[in-house]
Amino acid sequence: MIRGIFRHPKNELEGEIKWNRTPGPSVPEEMCVTCPSCRKMLFRDALAENSDVCPRCGWHFQISARRRVALIADEGTFQERDADIASRNLLGFPGYDEKLRRARRTESGSDEVVCGTCRIGGCPCCLFAMEPAFMMGSMGTAVGEKITRLFEFAEKSRLPVVGFTASGGARMQEGILALMQMAKTSGAVRRHSDAGLLYVAVLTNPTTGGVTASFAMEADIILAEPGALIGFAGPRVIEQTMRQKLPQGFQSAEFLLEKGFVDRISNRKTQKALLSRLLEFHAGCTK
Amino acid sequence: MFSKILIANRGEIAVRVIRACREMGISTVAVYSEADRDALHVGLADECYCIGPARAKDSYLNMSAVLSAAIVSGAQAIHPGYGFLSENAEFARLCAKCGIAFIGPSPEVLARMGDKDEAKRTMKAASVPVISGSGLVENLSQAKQAAEKIGYPLLMKARAGGGGRGIRLIRSEREFDKAFFQASEEANNAFGDGGMYLEKYMTGVKHIEVQVLCDSFGHVVCLGERDCSMQRKNQKIMEESPSPGVSSQEREKLFQICEHAMRTIGYTGAGTVEFLMDRDGKFYFMEMNTRLQVEHPVTEMVTGVDLVKWQIRIAAGLPLDFTAKDVPVRGHAIECRINAENPKEHFRPGGGKVTMLHLPGGPSVRFDTALYPDYFIPPFYDSLIGKLIVHARTREEAVRKMQAALCELVIEGVAHNGDFLLELLQDDAFQSGRYTTSCLAERGCL
C-alpha cells in the first residue's frame, strides 16, 4: 500500500499574498442538471447544445415552447399569431386567478401555446407548440381557441400544420368550458383535413388527457419523442380501477408504436430533417 | 498564493505537480480512477478522491466528477497536467463558473489555439510564418482545387485534430478522394467535427519548439528551444535543448517571432509554440500547445526555471520576476521517454507488475516517474512510464551521460524501450545532430 508512507513537509505557504476569494469554490445552481433517466450529472450549456437530449442515455428533457419553435423553424421565419389570447377565470373558480398569476411569473411567461407560421427546411407551414411549464400544459379555453384559429387559418391559406403537444389534459379550473375545447379543436382539425391538407403531430412528454383524446391523436402522421408518456388516464389510475398489473413500458411512445397508435419515434436531433422531408414530400414544395 | 490545488491527472506528471506543490507549501488533492487506487500520485497527495471507473472517459475526462472533487475538497485551483482536460476550453470555462482557478491560459485562448485552422490564421495575422496550405475546405471539389495550388505531397488535417487522428498523407491526386472522405469521417467520429484543411507535406525537416512563459502583466519570456525531431509515428521519443541544428541568429529570430505572437494573442501561463525547420533554416509555425509538455524537464535543466511552480504562480496572479537575460541557457540537456512497449513486437504497448526497479542517479541525472517496486502498470492509459533527463556542460558529455544512465535503468517485469533508445543514441544521425522527423521512418523503425 502506497498511502500513508510519505511524511508531509513542513514548508510554509510560499509568498505573502493569500488567495482569498469569497465565496470559495461552489457550483452555481443553474450550471448542472441530473438526467432523470440515467442519473448522470450534465452541464446545462452542453445539454442545450445537444438539443436538450441526454448524451448518455438519450433522455429527452422537457423544453419550452419558444425553444421548440427555435429548434424547428428556419431561422427568422417564425411569425407568431394570436399572441394576445390569454386564459381568464371565466367560472370564478376559487384560487384560479392566483394560479394563473403564479404561472405567468415563471420562465414560460404568459405562453400557454405558441402558434404561428414559419418555414421548416424551406417549406411553409403553420406551427404550434404547447408550453409544458404553464400549469402542466393544460388545455383551457385560450389554448383551444388559439389552436382552432390556427387550423382555420391554415385551411384558408392552404398550409400544412405541424404541432407539438405537451399536456396534462383539460384544465380542471375551467370545467366544462375546457372539455368543450376537445370538440372545438377536433372540428377545426376535421375541416382542415377535409380540405385535403396535411397535419403532422409530434407527441412529446407528457401528452395526456383531453389533448390525447382530441387533436393530438387526429393527425395524418403521428410522431412521438422517445420515452414520452402518452395516454388518457395515468397508469396509476388505470391500475387502481382495473385492479390489474399493467405491462412494462405501458403508455410509453415505444409501446404505442408497437400497438399502432404512433407512426414513428422521432429523435429530437433528427426531427427537423424528418419534418422537412415529410412536408416536402406532401406539398411537393421546391426549396 | 493558493493554499490547496487539485491535480486532474495521473502518472508521472501528477507526481511532478504534487512535488512542486509540496515545495511551495500548497496542500494537494489527487483524483484517481478505480484502476489507479495504488498509484504513486494518490499516495503523495494530502487528500484523494476516486472519480470513476478505469476508462479515462469515465474518470480523468469526466468534468463533473473532477469539479465535484475540487468543490468537496475546497481546492482553489486545478492543475490539469498534460493530455486529458488540459486543453479543454469548456472545462476551463466551467472552472471559472465554479470560482476555481484553471492553471493555464484563458478559455478563449484555449479555444482559439485548439482549432488548428484558426490557430494558423491567428499566427499568420501576428506575422508568424506558417506552412503553406488552404483554409477550411467545404467539399471535395474545393479541396481538390486547393490541392492543385499547394502541390503534392500534402497533408490533410482535421481542424479539431489531435493525437494523430484525422490526418492523411496524400502523395498523388489518385489517393485524394479516398483520403478526403476517410479523414473527414474519422475526424467527425473522434471530435464531432469533420472540418478539414490542407497543408504542404514537408520531409527532412526538424521539429523545433519554443517554451514560453507569460504572466498576466504582459511579460513574455522565451526559455530556449527544444529539438523534438526524433519521432516514431509522430510521437516524440527523444528531446534535447538547445537544438544542435539551430544557429544563434536563427534562434534569436525565432524567439522574437514567438514573443511578438504571444503578446498579440494575449497568452498567459506556460505554452509551447511548435515549428518545422526546413533545410534552409526557415521556420514554419505548426501549432501551439497551451499547456505543460511532457518534455518540459529539458528546459528546466538548461535554464534552472521550475516551469510548474511558475505556472502556479502566474495563475495566482504573480508577475514573472526575471527576464530572458536572467536565465541564459546553460549546457545541454537530453530527455529519453521510457515507454512500456516492446520494440521487438512492433512496439506493442504492454503493462504488468514491476518486479524489480533500479533508477539511474548521479549528478545532473533526473528520472521523472510514478513507478515503484511491485507497482502494477494498468493497461488503460498512455504507455509513458518514465522520463530520463540528463544535463551536462556540452552535448557530447550529455550524450555520454545519457548512455551511462540508460544502462543503469532496470525495470524488470515490464517490457520497455530502453535498449532501443540506447541504439538510437549511438546512431550517427543522432550523434551528428542532423537527424530529422523522417529519419526513423527512413530506417524502417516503424
* Contacts with B269 (C-beta within 8 Å, 6 or more apart), sequence order: B103, B104, B105, B213, B214, B290, B311, B314, B315
- List Cα–Cα distances, A217 to A72, A105, A146, A203, A213, in angstroms: 21, 31, 18, 9, 7
pLDDT at residue A287 tops 50: no
Nearest chain A alpha carbon to B36 = A2
A88 plus A228 within the same structural domain = yes
Cβ–Cβ under 8 Å, residues A57 and A35:
yes
For the stretch A22-33, pLDDT in tens is 567 888 888 889
Domain that holds residue A79: 63-283
Are A3 and B42 in contact (CB < 8 Å)? yes
Residue A21 lies in a domain: no
Residue A136 lies in a domain: yes
Instruction: Over range B298-310, report the average pLDDT.
Output: 97
Is B70 near chain A, with CB under 8 Å? yes
Site of grid cell 514491476: B354
For the stretch A219-241, pLDDT in tens is 999 999 999 999 999 888 898 99
Instruction: Over range B236-264, report the average pLDDT.
Output: 94
A154 plus A89 within the same structural domain = yes
Cβ contacts from A onto B, under 8 A: 86
Cβ–Cβ under 8 Å, residues B184 and B196:
yes
Cβ neighbours of A11 in B, within 8 Å: 22-25
Residue A248's pLDDT is 87
Could you say which of B48, B97, B372 has the minimum Cβ distance to residue A31? B97
A34 plus A165 within the same structural domain = no
How many Å separate Cα B156 from the centre of its chain?
22
Are A11 and B25 in contact (CB < 8 Å)? yes
A252 plus A136 within the same structural domain = yes
Residue B96's pLDDT is 93
Residue B103's pLDDT is 97
Are A27 and B71 in contact (CB < 8 Å)? yes
pLDDT at residue B352 tops 70: yes
Cβ–Cβ under 8 Å, residues B93 and B19:
no
Distance of alpha carbon B31 from alpha carbon B22, whole angstroms = 17
Residue A259 lies in a domain: yes
pLDDT at residue A285 tops 60: no
A187 plus A53 within the same structural domain = no
Q: What is the domain count for chain A? A: 2
Domain boundary among A61, A80, A108: A61
Residue A6 lies in a domain: no
A165 plus A247 within the same structural domain = yes
Are A17 and B318 in contact (CB < 8 Å)? yes
Residue A16 lies in a domain: no
CATH at A183: 3.90.226.10
Cβ–Cβ under 8 Å, residues B215 and B193:
no
% pLDDT > 70, chain A: 96
A135 plus A257 within the same structural domain = yes
A162 plus A248 within the same structural domain = yes
Interface of B with A in 357-386 (CB under 8 A): 372
Instruction: Tell me the domains of chain B and their CATH numbers.
Output: 4-103 (3.40.50.20), 132-200 (3.30.1490.20), 206-442 (3.30.470.20)
Residue B236 bridge partners (DSSP): B231
Write down the ipTM of this complex.
0.81
Q: How confident is the model at residue B446 (pLDDT cuts 50, 70, 90)?
A: low
Nearest chain A alpha carbon to B67 = A27
Are B99 and A26 in contact (CB < 8 Å)? yes
A186 plus A255 within the same structural domain = yes
A101 plus A54 within the same structural domain = no
Average pLDDT, rounded, for chain B:
92
Distance of alpha carbon B169 from alpha carbon B186, whole angstroms = 14
Residue A18's pLDDT is 62
A52 plus A69 within the same structural domain = no
Is B100 near chain A, with CB under 8 Å? yes
Is B22 near chain A, with CB under 8 Å? yes
A48 plus A151 within the same structural domain = no
Instruction: Give the DSSP per-residue string, B237-270.
Output: EEEEES-TT--HHHHHHHHHHHHHHHHHHT--EE
Residue A7 lies in a domain: no
Distance of alpha carbon B314 from alpha carbon B214, whole angstroms = 8
For the stretch A58-99, pLDDT in tens is 999 999 999 999 999 999 999 999 999 999 999 999 999 999
Residue A52 lies in a domain: yes
- Ramachandran assignment for B410, one of left (phi > 0), alpha (psi -120 to 50 degrees), beta (any other): beta
Cβ–Cβ under 8 Å, residues A166 and A205:
yes
pLDDT at residue B175 tops 70: yes
Active-site residues of B, by number, are 291
Mutate one of A21, A26, A27, A30 to test the B interface: name it (highest B CB count within 10 A): A27
Residue A26's pLDDT is 84
Cβ neighbours of B25 in A, within 8 Å: 9, 11-14
